[in-house]
Amino acid sequence: MLPRRLILLLALLATSASAQWLNFTEPGTPRTLDGKPDLRAPVPRTADGKPDLSGVWMHEITTVEEVKRLFGHRYDAAIQTNALGMEIGTQHKYQFDILADFKPEDSPLRPEAAEYLRRYAAGRNDGSDVCVGIPGIPRADLLSEPIKVIQAPRMTVILYEAGNSHRQIYTDGRALPKEFDLPAWLGYSVGHWEDDTLVVETAGFNDKAPLDGMGHPHSEALRVIERYRRRDFGHLDIEMTFDDPKMYTRPFTIKVPHDLLPDSDIFESFCNDNEKDRIHLGKK
């Protein structure tokens, strides 16, 4: 398997510093009397009074025990196909199954999506999808790596350590176009503020990146509405609503709390570097 990211993650959480900038103390970070970052301090704000979402953020973690409880007999398959190169217990449950909160009888899956899911499950153990493409939305933010938000007056940028990809969220008043000439892995995003919440609308996706490791598909008709709210200095709530009438009978929403990783940064991540999974897949 690839290098154990759990070790890196635990080191980040324990030291609040990344491997590339050891012992760096970020200016402007509120601190307690013992010098530790005060994650309960008030929300930082920009010059125009809006919450500043900038920072390095890590989603809440779904433990190994919870993964076993949620997915039962599917647990072994989850290890083999949904978290290649990453330790189970460093992801979020929605990276395994974005519909994890639905009972089978309440699933919004259309027959077309169910058939795609069946074909995806039948072919995903051959290793052909290892290091191919990039994680799409929301998977890029649910794996074992953190994200970095950079907020500017007319644009907010999200940098994903997973896949070294990024998104530009335009907050300069433009609207999404009605048609897209070139569908994209991460779509095209515009945002606006509703009180202290950044609301982001994204469309123009291609249909190449599943929504999760299980393979739940989406079409080019997918539209995603995200709501970003920074509760205090160290906590960010992200809510995502997915609307794809070609694959799902109704929109559905997931909520993923994030914790700040103070005095840290993201690092480069190249799947092909030291990749050792492909040759083992499909073998007994």
Confidence (pLDDT) at 88? 86
Enter the DSSP assignment of 151. Answer: E
Question: pTM for this one?
Answer: 0.85
DSSP 23-39: T---TT--B-TTS-B-T
Confidence (pLDDT) at 131? 59
Calpha distance 35→39 (Å, rounded): 12
Confidence (pLDDT) at 6? 39
Residue type, 72: G
Residue 134 phi, psi (nearest 5): -130, 155
Confidence (pLDDT) at 268? 82
SS3 8: helix
The token duo for 19 is 């491997």
Confidence (pLDDT) at 1? 39
Q: What is the pLDDT along the chain (284 residues), one digit of tens a residue?
A: 334 343 334 333 333 334 456 678 889 999 999 999 999 999 999 999 999 999 999 999 999 999 989 987 666 655 555 555 578 889 999 999 999 999 999 999 999 999 999 888 877 654 445 555 578 999 999 999 999 999 999 999 999 998 889 999 999 999 999 999 999 999 999 999 999 999 999 999 999 999 998 899 999 999 999 999 999 999 999 999 999 999 999 999 999 999 999 999 998 876 655 555 555 555 55
